[in-house]
Structure 1
Amino acid sequence: MSKQGYHHGNLRQALVASALALIEEKGPTGFTLSEAAKRAGVTPAAVYRHFEGREDLIAECARQGYLIFGDVLEHAWNGGEPSALAAFSATGRAYLAFARKYPGHYMAMFESGISPNRSTDLAKVAERADRVMERATAALMEHVPPDRRPPVAMVSAHIWAMSHGVVELYAREGNRAPYAPEDLLESGIGVYLRGLGLIRADI
């Protein structure tokens, strides 16, 4: 990208865009700050006007990713409509859809080693995404008898882990899956929910 790649002094966002492209190409640890600067059309020294270093730049990529992620989950949750079960399943599928559409953000968020607690701003947007999933889970758990109801945070974590596993193993470009990633996730969630008695077992 030449110096024409950014305008009106928006160098900070141009550097984020450069980093996201490099993360997609090389992974979150596979590029240098100099490469990000070169792609944005500036000198490495110019980067330090906006970021303390490469990790700080990746953390901003993650922060912006969590903002988008939270919006995607909120849209999927849709206030629990048309039913708690449908909304819960939709939030799981939204995880996969986000990872496919925003791979650079996804890797910055979940594969860079950057902790969501790195900064207050990053923690805030990450917690928002967590709350959406926990809200969806809590609504669904209301349909499980109290004596058989697992903790909401545990169920939410299980679905995140399942979704993340499908992304890592089968949703990457070039990865071969025995079934479409969407079908794998849908069936996995179905098996899990049958175990909780929320979906009638096929007989």
Structure 2
Amino acid sequence: MPKRGYHHGNLRQALVDAALVLIEDKGPTGFTLSEAAKTAGVTPAAVYRHFSGREDLIAEAARQGYEIFVDLMNYAFQSGQPSALASFEATGRAYLAFARKHPGHYIAMFESGISINHSPELADVAGRAWGVLERAAQSLSEHIPPEKRPPAAMFSAHIWALSHGVVELFARNSPGRQSPFPPEDLLESGIGVYLRGLGLIPPDT
């Protein structure tokens, strides 16, 4: 009788789905390939037909996460048009929404230590995700005189870091880190302080 793994309709995806469950439950370094195989219902040897090791498996989970992420960010950016500010704020909210809805993917992408250069495919989709935020930053800062305008890459990096910090500390139930304010409010007010400092929005009256 053939082994169970050979009957799998999509073994590669089954292994990725299993890894996502384990990543969320145990962290990116808290499980073995054998556990991923067991969760997927196949033999450990079957894993190596598709992945060279755990890092390769996690990298594929990250790549798939970025594909979801870039679509979500693009949708958020377009939903705010024609207001550059609304588009920029929408991308920040989309970041929080993604981290909550896809925690396994989020961890694989940002907390696993896997380089985005692990594969050309991963590097490409990660670059596209970064590009959405850069476009939002570029659009929002167009009216700033060139000599005073921060590079779009720096601008977007600051906002990405702020978004990531809010997610890590307050949006994913980190032990011992409670905030009296919703993560969305923390992010919105933080972005507001940053944008006022650049003169992109007027100060509060």
> TM-score, normalised to structure 2's length?
0.93
Report the counterpart of residue 99 of structure 1 in structure 2: 99
Give the CA deviation at 1:79. 7.0
Report the CA distance between 1:7 and its aligned residue: 6.5
The runs of at least 4 consecutive aligned structure 1 residues that moved more than 6 Å come to: 3-7
Aligned counterpart, 2:184: 182
Give unmatched runs, 5+ long, in structure 2: none
- Residue 147 of structure 1 and its aligned partner are, at CA, apart by 2.8
Counterpart of 1:184, as a letter, is L
For residues 1-203 of structure 1, the aligned pairs below 5 Å read: 9-78=9-78, 81-173=81-173, 175-203=177-205
2-side partners of 1:85 and 1:107: how far apart?
28
> Is the 2:18–2:40 Cα contact (8 Å) retained in structure 1?
yes
Change (3 A) 1:186 1:4: farther
SS at match of 2:68: helix
Counterpart-to-counterpart distance in 1, 2:143 and 2:90: 17
Larger mean CA deviation between 140-149 and 124-133 belongs to 140-149
Pick which of 175-184 and 128-137 moved more: 175-184
Number of residue pairs the alignment of both structures matches = 201
Any stretches of 5+ residues in structure 1 without a counterpart? Answer: none
RMSD of the TM alignment (CA)?
Answer: 1.8
How far off its partner does 1:4 sit? 8.5
Which deviates more from structure 2 when the two are superposed, residues 160-169 or residues 148-157? 148-157
The percentage of aligned residue pairs carrying the same residue is 74
2-side partners of 1:30 and 1:194: how far apart? 42
Q: Which amino acid aligns with 1:158?
A: H
Q: Is the 8 A contact 1:61 1:105 kept in 2?
A: yes
TM-score using structure 1 length: 0.94
Contact 1:5 / 1:14 at 8 angstroms: preserved in 2?
no
**Partner-residue secondary structure (3-state), 1:133:** helix
